[in-house]
Structure 1
Amino acid sequence: MDLPKALLDPPWARRPAPAPSGDEPVLVPGLTAPDDRAVVWEPGERESWAAVPSYGSWKDGAWEEAAEEFRDGRMGYEPTRAGFLAQAPEHLARPLLAGWKPHVTWDFDHSLKPIVARFETEAWDVAVRLAKQNPYGTGPVVLPFLSADVARMAADWLYRLKSAQKLSRAWFARHGLAAVPYLVPDALGKRVGPRRGAVKALRTIEGDVAEAARVHGDEAAEAVARLLAAAPPGTAPVEPPVRAPSLPRWLDADALPRPVLRDGGELPGEAARNLLLALTVSPGARLDVTGVVDGAAEVCDPESLTAFVWAQFVAWQAAGMPKGSGFVLSALGRFGDDVVVRMLAPLVREWPGRSGGYSSAVQGLEALVGIGTDLALTHLNGIAQKSRYKGLRGEAQRKLAQIAERRGLTAGQLADRLVPDFGLDADGTLTLDYGPRRFVVGFDEQLKPYVADEDGARRKALPKPGAKDDPELAPAAHRRFAELRKDLRAVASAEVARLESAMVTGRAWTPAEFGAFLVAHPLMRHLARRLVWLSGDRAFRLAEDRTFADLHDETVEPAPSADVRIAHPVLLGDSLAAWSEVFADYEILQPFPQLGRPVHALADGEGKSGRLERFEGAAVPTGRVLGLTRTGWRRGSPQDNGIEHWISWTLAPGLSVVVDLSPGIAVGYVDLNPVQTIERVWIAPAPGAPTDALEDALKSADPVRVSELLADLTDLTTAPPR
């Protein structure tokens, strides 16, 4: 088999092309760039940046104390400091911004956007410094900035950083000819590095660049014209040399299984080494190794490539997971399959608990996204919902949100599409063929699989293949059931929790979505038939034959124009008891409390004072407080010494309930304070809302949300100690 050229002649082995004559320097010494600074906003951009939610929140009257904590260093968590600068009164925030020097490399531009929108040029120095540290993560925050230092930085990115190409081109597209005066002194100067970047930038800008350079004099304008004539727009200068990749010391290339060619032979040793070297190159690097990796995928058996990268992963683990080896997980994302997913996902869930393991866990999430199968995304969804590590859970949620946005879906709609069918039959079962005997797999209310004989009698377990069973069919069926049980463990509890959350939040499905992703889905059907649903004001259940039945077992057809949602007991009103009786008669067990769920409401006048006094003063275990995060409560921002002093629940847009805790929850050491006292439960309307808005907001709040809030607080404060 002929191998792709890139596998035999990788890009790092090729000699660079000689420099074209158009790249010979044109020098005009003594030029100086303008020293002004300007912020150039797109229409509506400043307003949208100002509206980006910032980290942390402070109660009225607490600003002075928080400012003191900021000044003396007790407010050590940088996102909290950024949130303070974005929200605090200007007379407090402005002096602190001038001396703010974050001591960590920023990962996301959204933390800075509201600060830049608020203070513009006063936020310049910190924004530019953080952008230099991390162009890919923080660079977008300097897009509105126009000055000599930002122009030089954007030109450097354009010339040197592949990962920042899109951002730098966006900067030059925005500022265009206005950027030329800031670039010309470097483009015509003696310093090689700044000159190369500035020349490439000038060749990128559209319009009469030479005329825009005339602010530096006719000689400068003519020199720029010569530069552009020698290499017209679109012609890039010679790229800087690239360093050939190398293998880390812990990786023995000869110990890895050689990939197998599709025609049956092995990939030659040199080609296999080139593939391994290509896999070590970061996706954002200037060295383009796409041809090497894609060439291997073209000629090699996929399973052998999976074994190749998995062996590399095993070697990395055996070496103690050394840092700087993210390429190992990237390779799994490129060539992994569902077998890899089953082995990798449990590790990703555990890594944040190890010293230095969080970054590996995040890279593991990237690998799951790269593999991209239904099972991989299902595990990603499970981590997003149930990881015990808040940071990892948030990262998984962001990745799912990005996937959903690319597909034009909401997070819930994407989650619907991520539930695998596991190869179940159209009736939602799986037949295991042993040859002379067969077994049928069904599912209970928690989606736990059970096995029944062909006559329907349940068995305690699936029997092992016997001497009379088919020697090929029986072992394969036994393995199939073991894989199904393993895969379901990652899916079942997450899907049950997702539907319960949908009931609480009022998430609705269109009739088409309800039919496709719940009624017709061979797995989700087992949950859907155990719940009461609402279409408009009509309640119904899903019968065994997949028809819709009302309270009297009469067949109903929901209105085709009405969305479908899970009926919270608050919405069933007087029919709740009757529905409970129907489910009891049919012995239908529910996946989570629905018909038997406690229903709560505010007492007359309760909450109008802005407090829920009946829950105050209770002493509760910290673990039980943390358990509330499973139902939508959010932990407060860490304050002094990393202590979280409150948790909050969004009752309605612009209306939150905040529970003040003492002594508070220690981040990373939640057992430090095993018992919390609820000092105050207060209802917080949106900032700036009129004082009489609270009563109206409470009246208009969703009764389901109110019931769930009160149920959580009641359970928290009255449940017996565990």
Structure 2
Amino acid sequence: SGPSGMRQECSRNRAAQISATNARNEPVAEAAIAELLAADPLDALPAKLPVLPEWADVAVLTPIHLRGDAGALPAEAARHVMTMLAISRPGDPYAGLALVKEACDSRSLADFGWALFQRWQAAGYPSKESWMMDALALLGDDETVRRLTPLIRTWPGEGGHARAVAGLDLLAGIGSEVALMHLHGIAEKVKFSGLKNRARQKMDEVAAGLGLTSQELADRLVPTFGLSADGSLTLDYGRRQFVVGFDEQLKPYVTDAAGKRLKNLPKPGANDDPELAPAAHQRFAGLKKDVRAVAADNIRRLEQAMVNRRRWSGAEFKRLLVGHPLLWHIVRRLVWGLYDPSGLLTGALRVAEDRSFADVEDDTLTLPDEAVVGVAHPLELGEQLAAWAEMFADYEILQPFPQLGRETCQPDETLLSEISAAKIPTGKVIGLERRGWRRGAPQDAGIQCWIERDVPGGRTITIGLLPGIAIGYHEFADEQTLEGVGLDGLDGLDPITVSEILRDLREITR
């Protein structure tokens, strides 16, 4: 069947659509189909149309529903939609798909695309039909993202690295906040370094397209999870209500109407509303799962912001951090510094329960939009460190990561000798990647012989590994020895950078 055959098939399909619509007396859907007819976007066809695989039988796929409850497309029409997907290319979809998406329910199109993908998955991902991955990007939504991301994370371990990389392109192509949130999650934490690096590249590309850095984009991608402005969530059981709060690790907890903290959210009972209570209980279960997916990444991100001395304007700080209903639970448990243009600390503040700002004397502060704000490092706080620690202890404020009580290190020969002499489990060395370190490029036999970390001034600190880490075979060596840890390598670095490098190395030697 050539282009003329395609047109004939589409004409028959359109007639069937209109007939089915007329039978249901749905003039709105009929108008949509009529527009599809009139537009005739079928001129750009390949010389030979692809043959759809037998396993992609539309009879087993989720029906595609027309908008406005006008019924479902006939099976032949659904098959034509598959042909449109098969002749589309990334960034260059077949023109008729835009009209299909206009006439059909978006959720049912996403479900159809996912059902099609599952058939491809069950068939063993045949490369001839790899267009089905592109189909997910063309028809997918946030639910598609939630279903696909766990597969992307595991595919490299099953010999599917190229397919996982295509999945990253798909997430970036869908481009919603949820899709980019999951892309950022892969960039921050996945056990396959190749996939992690590609995800970081995609995040950089997306951010650059928006005129942002990847970290600035990440600030804007933290979901609110439907929390109220004060960062809480009320669960309505009908006769009973419960309030969800969050601790310093962003773990949700529940209090009753009187404010008493409960061990667990009670299960719906006979006296509760039969619809509200089960829905509220299910929502809390989903909230715990969703928040757990972003909590550790965002706590680690703020800790790295302290270490790397990232700054926000006062306006960004108030809007993106203090004003965020989830993040503010961590923000109010930290001491924030105010900085002059040269980067020197000029003052410090905390965020109070009512989102106002207070200094170490607990006096209210006004934060100008043009102020420069960052997570204060204990070495910057100097003589004020003890006073801030006392205040946080008085208010019983627990911190999400060590800040006021953070161990600081100065270089001396004894400490450097201890680090150099230690036999360190390979897993602990790999764990440094969560703190901004990278493993070096593979050398002979795929051995990574060093770890490295960027430092201010465009420099990179490199620490040798003996015997090194074998890619994909961590059992190659159970332990590593660090080489090149000396005063010369730390010369010229500022005290905070030196302290953080030595703190990292000291922790993995214990």
Q: Do both proteins adopt the same fold according to a TM-score greater than 0.5, normalized to the shorter chain?
A: yes
Shift in Å, 1:631: 0.9
Picking from 253, 259, 266, the partner of 2:64 is 259
Query: Within the alignment, does 1:549 sit opposite 2:352 as a pair?
Result: no
Alpha-carbon distance between aligned partners in 2 of 1:461 and 1:321, rounded to the nearest angstrom: 43
Picking from 371, 392, 398, the partner of 1:589 is 398
Residues 52-63 of structure 1: matches in 2 within 5 Å? none
Picking from 80, 88, 96, the partner of 1:274 is 80
- 1:418 aligns to what? 221
- 1:11 aligns to what? 42
Shift in Å, 1:534: 0.4
1:595-644 alpha-carbon deviations (Å, 9 max, x no partner): 111111234xx79xxx9655323221111111111111111111111111
1:261-290 alpha-carbon deviations (Å, 9 max, x no partner): 0132111322211111121235259xx653
Shift in Å, 1:543: 0.5
Secondary structure at the aligned position of 1:662 is classed as: strand
Ranges in structure 1 where 5+ consecutive residues have no aligned partner: 15-240, 685-693
Confirm or deny: 8 A CA contact 1:385 1:494 kept in the other structure: yes
- 1:430 aligns to what? 233
- The letter for the 2-side match of 1:315 is R
Picking from 353, 361, 365, the partner of 2:157 is 353
Shift in Å, 1:675: 1.2
Alpha-carbon distance between aligned partners in 1 of 2:151 and 2:421, rounded to the nearest angstrom: 41
The structure with more radius of gyration:
1
1:565-606 alpha-carbon deviations (Å, 9 max, x no partner): 001111111221221121111111111111111111234xx7
- 1:31 aligns to what? none
- The letter for the 2-side match of 1:273 is R
Alpha-carbon distance between aligned partners in 2 of 1:349 and 1:472, rounded to the nearest angstrom: 36
- 2:142 aligns to what? 338
Alpha-carbon distance between aligned partners in 2 of 1:442 and 1:661, rounded to the nearest angstrom: 44
Greater RCO between the two (CA within 8 Å, min separation 6)?
1
- 2:322 aligns to what? 519
Relative to 1, partners in 2 of residues 1:424 and 1:284: Cα closer, same or farther, differing over 3 Å? closer
Alpha-carbon distance between aligned partners in 1 of 2:38 and 2:289, rounded to the nearest angstrom: 38
State the 4+ residue runs in structure 1 displaced beyond 6 angstroms: 6-10
Confirm or deny: 8 A CA contact 1:351 1:358 kept in the other structure: yes
Relative to 1, partners in 2 of residues 1:13 and 1:249: Cα closer, same or farther, differing over 3 Å? farther
1:294-336 alpha-carbon deviations (Å, 9 max, x no partner): 1111011111111111111222222233334432232222222
Relative to 1, partners in 2 of residues 1:491 and 1:573: Cα closer, same or farther, differing over 3 Å? same
Shift in Å, 1:525: 0.6
Relative to 1, partners in 2 of residues 1:324 and 1:495: Cα closer, same or farther, differing over 3 Å? farther
Relative to 1, partners in 2 of residues 1:266 and 1:507: Cα closer, same or farther, differing over 3 Å? same
Picking from 100, 104, 120, the partner of 1:316 is 120
Shift in Å, 1:559: 5.0
Picking from 363, 379, 401, the partner of 2:204 is 401
- 2:18 aligns to what? none
Confirm or deny: 8 A CA contact 1:6 1:292 kept in the other structure: no
Alpha-carbon distance between aligned partners in 1 of 2:394 and 2:426, rounded to the nearest angstrom: 40
Relative to 1, partners in 2 of residues 1:243 and 1:703: Cα closer, same or farther, differing over 3 Å? farther
Secondary structure at the aligned position of 1:409 is classed as: coil
- 1:538 aligns to what? 347
- 1:306 aligns to what? 110
Alpha-carbon distance between aligned partners in 2 of 1:681 and 1:657, rounded to the nearest angstrom: 10
Alpha-carbon distance between aligned partners in 1 of 2:204 and 2:38, rounded to the nearest angstrom: 36
Identify which range, 628-637 or 613-622, moves more after superposition. 613-622
- 2:463 aligns to what? 659
Shift in Å, 1:349: 1.5
Alpha-carbon distance between aligned partners in 2 of 1:342 and 1:466, rounded to the nearest angstrom: 31
- 1:698 aligns to what? 491
Confirm or deny: 8 A CA contact 1:651 1:706 kept in the other structure: no
- 1:711 aligns to what? 503
Query: Within the alignment, does 1:379 sit opposite 2:182 as a pair?
Result: yes
Secondary structure at the aligned position of 1:259 is classed as: coil
Shift in Å, 1:252: 2.0
Relative to 1, partners in 2 of residues 1:279 and 1:7: Cα closer, same or farther, differing over 3 Å? farther
Confirm or deny: 8 A CA contact 1:12 1:244 kept in the other structure: no
Percentage of matched positions with identical amino acids: 51
Relative to 1, partners in 2 of residues 1:613 and 1:319: Cα closer, same or farther, differing over 3 Å? same
Relative to 1, partners in 2 of residues 1:275 and 1:352: Cα closer, same or farther, differing over 3 Å? same
1:136-189 alpha-carbon deviations (Å, 9 max, x no partner): xxxxxxxxxxxxxxxxxxxxxxxxxxxxxxxxxxxxxxxxxxxxxxxxxxxxxx
Residues 238-253 of structure 1: matches in 2 within 5 Å? 242-253=47-58
Alpha-carbon distance between aligned partners in 1 of 2:48 and 2:416, rounded to the nearest angstrom: 65
Picking from 85, 89, 95, the partner of 1:291 is 95
- 2:8 aligns to what? none
Confirm or deny: 8 A CA contact 2:85 2:94 kept in the other structure: no
Confirm or deny: 8 A CA contact 2:110 2:139 kept in the other structure: yes
Residues 615-634 of structure 1: matches in 2 within 5 Å? 615-634=419-438
1:21-72 alpha-carbon deviations (Å, 9 max, x no partner): xxxxxxxxxxxxxxxxxxxxxxxxxxxxxxxxxxxxxxxxxxxxxxxxxxxx
Residues 625-644 of structure 1: matches in 2 within 5 Å? 625-644=429-448
Alpha-carbon distance between aligned partners in 1 of 2:432 and 2:71, rounded to the nearest angstrom: 57
Residues 105-124 of structure 1: matches in 2 within 5 Å? none
- 1:481 aligns to what? 284
Confirm or deny: 8 A CA contact 1:648 1:658 kept in the other structure: yes
Shift in Å, 1:545: 0.8
Ranges in structure 2 where 5+ consecutive residues have no aligned partner: 1-29, 340-345
- The letter for the 2-side match of 1:242 is A
Confirm or deny: 8 A CA contact 2:88 2:94 kept in the other structure: no
Secondary structure at the aligned position of 1:408 is classed as: coil
> What is the root-mean-square deviation of aligned Cα atoms in Å?
2.4
Alpha-carbon distance between aligned partners in 2 of 1:518 and 1:284, rounded to the nearest angstrom: 36
- The letter for the 1-side match of 2:51 is S
- The letter for the 2-side match of 1:634 is R
Shift in Å, 1:656: 2.8
Picking from 383, 388, 394, the partner of 1:579 is 388
Normalised by the length of structure 2, the TM-score is 0.87
Query: Within the alignment, does 1:568 sit opposite 2:372 as a pair?
Result: no
Shift in Å, 1:251: 2.0
- 2:11 aligns to what? none
- The letter for the 1-side match of 2:454 is T
Query: Within the alignment, does 1:370 sit opposite 2:173 as a pair?
Result: yes
Shift in Å, 1:493: 0.9
- 1:169 aligns to what? none
Shift in Å, 1:526: 0.3
1:330-360 alpha-carbon deviations (Å, 9 max, x no partner): 22222222322222222222222112x2122
Secondary structure at the aligned position of 2:484 is classed as: strand
